[in-house]
Structure 1
Amino acid sequence: MKFFLLLLFLGFFSNAWALQPEPVVQLQVRVLPETHAFTCRYTLTVPADDTATTLALHLDRRFRIERVQAPRARQQRVARVYYPFFADTVQCVQVRYAARSHHARRITLTYSGVLTEKFFTEQVMELSGHTGWLPFRPRREYEPVRYALDVRTPPGYQVLSTTAPHQHGPGRWTFRGRTSAIEITALVGPHFAQAQARARPLVGVAKAGPALARADSVLLRQAAGIIGFYNRTIGRQDSIKGFTVFLPGTNRDAFGLLANATVITYSEFNTADRGDLLILAHEISHKWWGYGSVHDENDWLNEAFATYSSLLYLQARGDTAGYRAELAKRAATIAGTPPLLGFDRTKYDYPMYRRVIYNKGTMILAALHARLGTTRFVEVLAATAARQVSTTTAFLDVVAQTAGPDARAWLLAELQR
């Protein structure tokens, strides 16, 4: 627990809070681990500069909405709508106002549900970015929000999140932070094994269950090495001071968070293997590469950048052969793909999305690296990360400012190819 207390002041009060006003989320959650059930009172406060007359929230259709509160709203309704990104229907809570407002507006949803088997074990309930337990504004799943999270549990349970508890006592844990809208995280279990790397930055692992395995200790050392490398390169203008790797053991996938954390759910994960090492490095880099929209071409700013960052780490640790082999694998998949610029994922199957957004994007970054040289290329990445660039147009501007107009023109041509 000491490790998480140290994290309270690391990253939470970051300079990102001083940027333009962001939505504020307040959550009061009661969990029943024995039945894998929860109830949630979710309040979204939209800043005054968002003057839309209609606000909507999407929620997983498995959950039961018990109450909707929207002060000063003229009309509200709940309906089922098809959401293409999920290729499924969701519950849409829509609130209309009489006119444009110059005041902050608040919507509160009270709902309840039971987690599916993918998100719990005997050791943990996983409420995370991939659980789908939170409402979100359409096409804004990953918009940054500030939040306060209050979790109530039966006696004998612990709760971990991506920050240290702001307060906690028997059966109650509160957290505050900033992350993406659907990535507010609470892991609930009877026990978590924790360890911390000895050197700075403060990197720790937290595993659901009584003890860490040898592979988990190796993972901790590797994570510290990866973060040290990123802090010297892509994160030199916005470095990580504290980071957590969560190991819930739900054996499903891996994903990174904006909140200086990553969740590795695989029950068998060994970073002595190059593939697992690249997964870890990829997910850690999402601390910087997570601001592009996942609905259009700008998703390459998330996935290609994270992929190439992991390959840069592979190269930096001396595995040049591995770096080249991984690039060659991706290069072999991009022949005949449509241009990255303007790519519409709704018109293609998932394999083509991977070939364009992940692989083609990675190869374009590798070519930009070769053109600029390592020193200038890392300057471009560091500036992109520090500015939380969210569009390809903005990235082109960073390239022009850092490497010159000729580099921008070349990159634009590659994106259109």
Structure 2
Amino acid sequence: MTSPRQQAAARRTAVPSRRAVLATVPVALAALVTAAGPAAAGTTGSSGAGDPYFPLAGNGGYHVRHYGLTLRHTSAAQLQGKAVLSARATQRLTRFDLDFKGLKVTRLTVDGTTAEFSRNGQELVVTPRHALRKGQDFKVTVTYHGTPKPVTDPDGSADGWIPTDDGAFVAGEPQGAMTWFPANNHPRDKSSYDITITVPRGRTAVANGVLLGQSTAHGETTFRWRQTEPMAAYLATATVGEFKVERYTTRDGIQVYNAVDAREASAAAPVLKKLPSVLEWESKLFGPYPFRAAGSIVDHAPDVGYALETQSRPVYDSAPDLGTLVHENAHQWFGDSVSLTSWKDIWLNEGFATYAEWLYSEQHGGDSAQKTFDALYARPASNGLWAFPPGDPGSGAHIFDTPVYARGAMTLHELRRAVGDPVFFRILRAWAAEHHDGHGTTAQFVKLAERESGKDLDALFHTWLYQTGKPNRV
């Protein structure tokens, strides 16, 4: 993600600019079992996945293998939805929760049988007719409708289903997925998706993965999308607008779909033209591109203030600059394919994507990463860059602040200086490969870096990730 504060930092420090089939995901399932904590001993799935920053995000007791979402968005901004969640119980369940906020539920079934449900804030509490056995596969079907509204994050920004003058900008990090579909909404739980969206004729609905087809009848157009690779709920999108569409396949076989608001088209065109070369460059550094599809959604949403790395197809609130394009597509490796287990570790997403910007600049005639680092390090101890350590931002209000991005990238640069370029880039490729379609933690990254380098790196990571104030050079 880019945020207003991070974009300002990027202008100064990076590229000169303004800013299917059911997928069984063993890593995600194991993470959910761990997340369930004490509740795993009972028969009620926990109302949260145990995240210290967002305690109600996600749910315990089950893992969603696949979401089948069928949506209809009307010209009156109404959303009609049917969500079919194919899940597996990780404990015996007499009750479980889904994250779902705002929209009215009209019917809910578990394995085709009507189930009782109630609402408790963002929790949709489900009581099936019969208890679910540990290890049992089951389907939850939720029918709903209403006018979706975004949620306000701890830092004051909006995310989720954000209305625009021609549809909606749909970006769910960190909490917003629950504004438009019922979900197990924590990065620990990754699933495959089929998303079918019907919109008024003349509008385009763009989601994740590959477009399976589209058809128009009775004044409406239906778009069918499929994301087969595992995806966290916050990375799903169903952005709607009046878009110009460009489709092509790269020489590596990646299916590209770009959707651009006409008001942003002239500014976006020269940047989007570089997408294939950016993906090729990132693939050489980080390993093979992790998905079948790629592309961009460039909306005209001046009140949003950020872009997001929605899986396989980032969404931008306006025409992106080159640095932002590099940043959001680097997330396809770091954040999307390799996902968080806790929002506390957000530097693994944002620090890596920011450092990708530095590397791109360095290798394409711009400032070296060292020069960028030195300019940042020259800031006085009172500067906001040193306000908190990136390895523990302290709360959800700070996960998109400058230290996570810039000091997170500085951590990687210090690692690069300590181990040398050949080992450093081997570490990045190993991280992406060994945690592909799964999850990672800071502790696991440190362990991998020490394994690949043969060095004790505890002091380096402690200094740059966890020391308060401006760190001394190691």
TM range (shorter): 0.7 to 0.9
C-alpha distance in 2, partners of 1:111/1:28?
11
Between Structure 1 and Structure 2, how many residues are aligned? Answer: 383
- In 2, are the aligned partners of 1:69 and 1:107 still within 8 Å (CA)? yes
- In 2, are the aligned partners of 1:123 and 1:208 still within 8 Å (CA)? no
- In 1, are the aligned partners of 2:450 and 2:457 still within 8 Å (CA)? yes
1:217 aligns to what SS in structure 2? helix
Per-residue CA deviation, residues 64-97 of structure 1 (Å, 9 max, x unaligned), is 222222349998542333xxxxxxxx34334477
How does 1:329-344 map onto structure 2 within 5 Å? Answer: 329=376, 332=379, 333=383, 337-341=387-391, 343-344=393-394
Partner of 1:150: 196
Partner of 2:448: 398
Aligned match for 2:181, one of 109, 134, 137: 134
- TM-superposed deviation, 1:368: 0.3
C-alpha distance in 1, partners of 2:296/2:374?
27
Q: 1:292 to 1:153 in 2, by over 3 A?
A: closer
How does 1:32-51 map onto structure 2 within 5 Å? Answer: 32=74, 34-49=75-90
- TM-superposed deviation, 1:414: 4.5
Partner of 1:246: 297
1:406 aligns to what SS in structure 2? coil
C-alpha distance in 2, partners of 1:75/1:379?
51
Aligned residues: CA RMSD: 3.7
Q: 1:190 to 1:237 in 2, by over 3 A?
A: closer
How does 1:1-400 map onto structure 2 within 5 Å? Answer: 23-32=65-74, 34-49=75-90, 54-61=95-102, 63-71=103-111, 76-81=116-121, 90-95=122-127, 98=131, 100-115=133-148, 119-129=162-172, 132-137=179-184, 140=186, 143-155=189-201, 157-170=203-216, 171-177=221-227, 178=229, 179-189=231-241, 191-194=243-246, 196=248, 202=254, 204=256, 206-209=258-261, 213-234=265-286, 236-238=287-289, 242-251=293-302, 252=304, 253-258=306-311, 260-266=312-318, 269=319, 271=321, 277-290=322-335, 291-293=338-340, 295-320=342-367, 324-325=371-372, 328-329=375-376, 332=379, 333=383, 337-341=387-391, 343-345=393-395, 350=398, 354-388=401-435, 389-400=439-450
Moved more, 202-211 or 127-136: 202-211
Per-residue CA deviation, residues 25-61 of structure 1 (Å, 9 max, x unaligned), is 11111221x1121111112222244656642112223
Flag structure 2 segments of 5+ consecutive residues without an equivalent: 1-19, 30-63, 151-160, 468-474
- In 2, are the aligned partners of 1:256 and 1:287 still within 8 Å (CA)? yes
Q: 1:121 to 1:292 in 2, by over 3 A?
A: closer
Flag structure 1 segments of 5+ consecutive residues without an equivalent: 1-11, 82-89, 272-276
C-alpha distance in 2, partners of 1:327/1:241?
38
Moved more, 113-122 or 167-176: 113-122
Moved more, 152-161 or 140-149: 152-161
- In 2, are the aligned partners of 1:202 and 1:241 still within 8 Å (CA)? yes
- TM-superposed deviation, 1:367: 0.4
Letter in 1 for 2:104: R
TM-score (normalised: structure 1): 0.77
2:308 aligns to what SS in structure 1? strand
Identity across matched positions, percent: 19
